[in-house]
Amino acid sequence: MRKPNSLKASTAAVAVLIWSLSATVAESGIGVNWGTISLHKLSPSTVVDLLKANKIEKVKMFDADPDVLKGLMGSGIQVMVGIPNEMLGVISSSAAASDLWVQKNVSAYMVKGGVNIRYVAVGNEPFLSSYSGQFQSYVIPALMNLQQSLAKANLASFIKLVVPCNADAYESSLPSQGAFRPELAQIMTQLVSILNSNGSPFVVNIYPFLSLYGNSDFPQDYAFFDGTSHAVTDGPNIYYNAFDGNFDTLVAALSKIGYGQMPIVVGEVGWPTDGAVGANLTAARAFNQGLINHILSNKGTPLRPGDPPMDIYLFSLFDEGAKSILPGNFERHWGIFSFDGQAKYPLNLGLGIGKLKNAMDVQYLPPRWCVAKPSVDLSAVVNHLRIACSYADCTTLSYGGSCNAIGVKGNISYAFNSYYQLQNQDSKSCNFDGLGMVTFLDPSIVLYSTAEDLAMDQFELQHPSLQHTVPQ
């Protein structure tokens, strides 16, 4: 990989690059968010092969991980790299810091046979109400500095800057009355004006699941795409799903500040498969398949008929077992693939391959497990469980989780085994003061004498992917 020696790439090199990447307006499509806050990571090359096998041509990142970017080199996949909110302060106050970030994370990869970077996300939901304005003042100055940095590198006409916003940036009781939050009205008007002048879309994250999760009165069928008995009537328009209602609320908010035709990209949208009531495989498949079919039908929404979002990025590609669970245990379970690249449920992305294809040549640890010893007093196990679950992901055991009903011994063995696999099957990690033991027999076929043990067996049979894990 050739790295430029200065911030300004040569005009000839950039011309070759743009020609080789065919820098025309990209077609609308279905992309994915590739998050990396995982306990067990597949190699970037394996992930890229998975993306190619599923003909996924658009990927959104939350940072500019060099290993991921190196893996994407030569793939042709369109990439959105991200700048974490915590970096906005430095970039907003220093043109040199902005130049250096672009040089290191964009220009270095924008070479012939390099990475097809199309967007740089300036922060991630920096106006989120729960941040209480912490990052708000940095966004516009950072955006301006980065635009100048891209211009210096002769990349400003090809790479677009965007600012992914949470849907809480706007509000309304009816879509047609949508408006940005009063405290954001001025900065949003300024932001959208800059985005528009640079030919950038407005990027929004829409989560009907969170509306359902956070409001017991929210009608469940309105979150999906199969019709509802709770349609919302808004003048001449009728809304049959929450996604369209949310999207048109943004359209109305943009119209109020003079940018009603602004292109919109949905940066995050999806449904979790575990960790909460309503988060399960059936619901996730129904939502994601319904969404994809709806977008690809080109029907658009009542306020934008025949004009669906430019692109949508499903959230997310994989489960991320190390994510914060402050919003809820479901945060670790959004993937359409499990951590080892195996499809969780049949899903047709509309990209011409039918159902999702699994990752190939995944390397697993040997088939052995850590379980609670039979016929041992487990009364002293609580502290061990606490320690194990502080490192490993035990969110499926909590209320609403898929393994919530596997019984006490099942819970213990699940936690012990999760920690043991995370420690790459180090035999010492299965001791737990003599309460755990390593077994080379698949727990799903070992005979036990209690109904509780049988429940654990049934659980293992239903969750074979949890029996061993991918080494880091």
Is 125 catalytic? The answer is yes
Tokens matching residue 280? 């399960």
Phi, psi of 46 (to 5 degrees): -65, -40
Phi, psi of 232 (to 5 degrees): -105, 120
Cα(314)–Cα(316) distance, rounded to whole angstroms? 5
Cα(310)–Cα(397) distance, rounded to whole angstroms? 39
Tokens matching residue 237? 């328009």
Cα(38)–Cα(40) distance, rounded to whole angstroms? 5
Catalytic residue, chosen from 125, 320, 331, 460, is 125
Q: Which residue has the tokens 């696999």?
A: 421
Q: What residue ranges in 111-200 does DSSP mark as E strands? A: 116-122, 160-162, 165-166, 170-171, 179-180
Cα(59)–Cα(134) distance, rounded to whole angstroms? 28
- Count of residues making up the chain: 472
Q: 3-state DSSP call for residue 120?
A: strand
Cα(405)–Cα(398) distance, rounded to whole angstroms? 9
Cα(240)–Cα(47) distance, rounded to whole angstroms? 36
Catalytic residue, chosen from 27, 86, 268, 331, is 268
- The answer to whether 368 and 416 have CB atoms below 8 angstroms apart is no
Tokens matching residue 379? 């009364």
Is 268 catalytic? The answer is yes
Phi, psi of 396 (to 5 degrees): -70, -15
Cα(372)–Cα(381) distance, rounded to whole angstroms? 10
Selection from 450, 470, 424 nearest residue 372 by Cα: 450
CA distances for 238 relative to 50, 209, 224, 301, angstroms: 39, 21, 15, 10
Q: Which residue has the tokens 């369209």?
A: 244
CA distances for 2 relative to 5, 111, 113, 142, 231, angstroms: 9, 7, 10, 27, 56
Cα(229)–Cα(222) distance, rounded to whole angstroms? 8
Residues annotated as part of the active site: 125, 268
